[in-house]
Structure 1
């Protein structure tokens, strides 16, 4: 079984934040989705990311505030899941609540084992 990184982009977080009830209902969907994955041993961990940060770029290690990109491109969080193959990882990604919004994106990437 391999580990896959699901990278969450976009979604409608600002619209949901205008209503505490909508926000809570949406977060309940995330809790249920991750709980179901955990119950079958497919959940490896997850965290949301803050919108601000720093960017270090190039050989000169230029530091800047950021990232600065459109909201739909901003990484909002990630989850590690366990799956037998890409098809299963994509099936898991298809259940992500961010996909309830047209601007929601889940990028699925297999985590390569680093040999040191």
Structure 2
């Protein structure tokens, strides 16, 4: 099995227009999806991200405040999953509740490193 990272991207204001009941229902779908991944041995790790952050750039190590996005799209979280190949990882990602909000999932294979 290989490891893959999902980077979840969506609109920063996606939850602000929902009622609390709608938000709770959506979060329950996330919990069910991630619980299913764990039960199948696919879930490795994952967390939502705060929208604020900082970035260190270039040889001068210039620090800027974030978020760092174009067109109001933010990285809202990540997940690491086990899959046999990128095709399986992509198929697994299609069950993600983020698509209900027109979100995106970037699927990237994690490169093994020898330390």
Normalising TM by the smaller chain, what interval? over 0.9
* Structure 1 moving runs of 4+ over 6 Å: none
Shift of 1:71: 2.6
Q: For residue 113 of structure 2, what is the aligned residue in structure 1? A: 114
TM-score (norm 2): 0.92
CA distance in 2, matches of 1:68, 1:109: 20
Shift of 1:20: 0.8
Aligned to 1:13, the other structure's residue is in SS state coil
TM-score (norm 1): 0.91
Tell me the number of residue pairs that the alignment of Structure 1 and Structure 2 aligns.
Answer: 112
CA distance in 2, matches of 1:21, 1:83: 33
CA distance in 2, matches of 1:115, 1:48: 28
User: Unaligned 5+ residue runs, structure 2?
Assistant: none
1:1-116 to 2 correspondences below 5 Å = 1-11=1-11, 12-16=14-18, 19-69=19-69, 70-72=71-73, 74-102=74-102, 104-116=103-115
Shift of 1:100: 1.1
User: Unaligned 5+ residue runs, structure 1?
Assistant: none
Q: Deviations over 1:75-109 (max 9, x none)?
A: 0000000000111100111011001122x000000
Q: Deviations over 1:41-79 (max 9, x none)?
A: 00011100001010100010001111232332x100000
Task: Tell me which protein shows more helix as a share of its residues.
Answer: 1
